[in-house]
């Protein structure tokens, strides 16, 4: 079974992911809020357990011990381990962020599994790894997307400006986690630490990936917006995270705002109407509220 884009195996695994999520959505769509909350908690707990205990579950890594890949070593690991805190915490922006990023990351990983393309997963070790990969990303997507489909996440487009800070904070957490774990595991010197981090390089935080041909246009666009002081090449090292922080912040803000505008469209259009009506007399502006436009919300007007 060779995984190629739109091969039978590829299509079946993608359909299986969304089939699982659709069945869970329909099965608990009319249940109480507590039942839906319990389902999300169970899914998150299962994903955390398989992340911590993967060396006891999947045959191809039974001989390994607890290490870096059981920690916050990449974006999906971060989302798996910290999504309960962000989803059930008090920050509405963090809840919206984790719902968006978790849904996107969990679905894109299965739809476009770059690492497996061109490989024959009929080999036992690779098949076991593909099953692990599929399970953790399906659980991640389900725990992020189902609360949105069930109406448990209230979106507010005014929170979109916080997304780039949350995203960059997540990248800094990944980098710090990898540094601490590598140093704690021993055998890493100051000279080899950067090399080890570069070998990991989750989501390109240390610099462009070595095999960057599929992303060359994107990398060129990113580096065009980045100050030269943060860029590598010709014997210079890329500055971790800062080499793409500015263009990444712009991209996350734009994408986040578009998603928020789509999911919070009633408030967005009501605010736009109020904004353009500010040309009216002050008494008229004071009397107008969102209720005048058929929008009944529990948050204040911010224009």
- 180 & 104 share domain: no
Residues of the chain with pLDDT under 70: 211-215, 232-235, 278-303
- 39 & 129 share domain: yes
139 belongs to a structural domain? yes
Res 137: pLDDT: 95
- 134 & 174 share domain: no
- 39 & 141 share domain: yes
Q: Residues near 250 by Cβ (< 8 Å), separated by ≥ 6? A: 164, 225
Expressed as residue numbers, the domain containing 201 is 168-248
Phi–psi pair at 91, nearest 5 degrees: -80, 115
- 173 & 113 share domain: no
212 belongs to a structural domain? yes
Res 233: pLDDT: 63
- 34 & 137 share domain: yes
Number of domains present in the structure of the chain: 2
Q: Residues near 122 by Cβ (< 8 Å), separated by ≥ 6? A: 1
- 126 & 101 share domain: yes
- 144 & 203 share domain: no
Q: Which of 101, 130, 154 is the last residue of a domain?
A: 154
- 37 & 97 share domain: yes
The two tokens of residue 236 are 């210079």
- How much is the pTM? 0.84
- 114 & 212 share domain: no
- 13 & 115 share domain: yes
Q: What Rg, from alpha-carbon coordinates, does the chain have? A: 22
Dump pLDDT digits (tens) for 32-50.
999 999 999 999 999 999 9
């Amino acid at each position: 079974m060779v995984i190629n884009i739109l091969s039978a195996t590829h299509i079946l695994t993608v359909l299986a992911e969304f089939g699982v999520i659709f069945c869970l959505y329909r099965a608990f769509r009319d249940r109480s809020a507590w039942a839906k909350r319990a389902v999300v908690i169970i899914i998150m707990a299962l994903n955390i357990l398989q992340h911590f205990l993967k060396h006891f579950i999947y045959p191809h890594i039974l001989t390994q011990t607890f290490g870096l890949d059981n920690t916050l070593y990449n974006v999906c690991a971060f989302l798996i381990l910290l999504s309960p805190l962000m989803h059930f915490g008090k920050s509405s922006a963090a809840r919206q962020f984790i719902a968006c990023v978790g849904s996107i990351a969990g679905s894109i990983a299965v739809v476009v599994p770059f690492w497996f393309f061109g490989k024959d997963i009929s080999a036992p070790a690779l098949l076991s790894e593909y099953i692990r990969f599929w399970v953790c990303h399906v659980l991640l997507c389900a725990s992020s997307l189902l609360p949105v489909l069930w109406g448990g996440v209230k979106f507010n487009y005014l929170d979109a400006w916080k997304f780039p800070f949350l995203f960059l904070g997540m990248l800094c957490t990944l980098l710090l986690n990898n540094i601490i774990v590598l140093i704690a595991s021993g055998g890493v010197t100051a000279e080899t630490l950067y090399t080890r981090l570069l070998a990991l390089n989750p989501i390109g935080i240390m610099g462009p990936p070595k095999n960057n041909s599929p992303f060359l246009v994107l990398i060129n666009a990113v580096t065009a917006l980045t100050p030269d002081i943060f860029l590598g090449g010709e014997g210079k090292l890329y500055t971790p995270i800062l080499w793409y922080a500015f263009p990444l912040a712009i991209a996350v803000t734009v994408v986040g705002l578009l998603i928020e505008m789509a999911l919070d469209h009633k408030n967005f259009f009501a605010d736009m109407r109020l904004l353009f009506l500010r040309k009216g007399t002050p008494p008229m502006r004071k009397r107008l509220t969102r209720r005048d436009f058929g929008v009944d919300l529990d948050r204040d007007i911010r224009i």
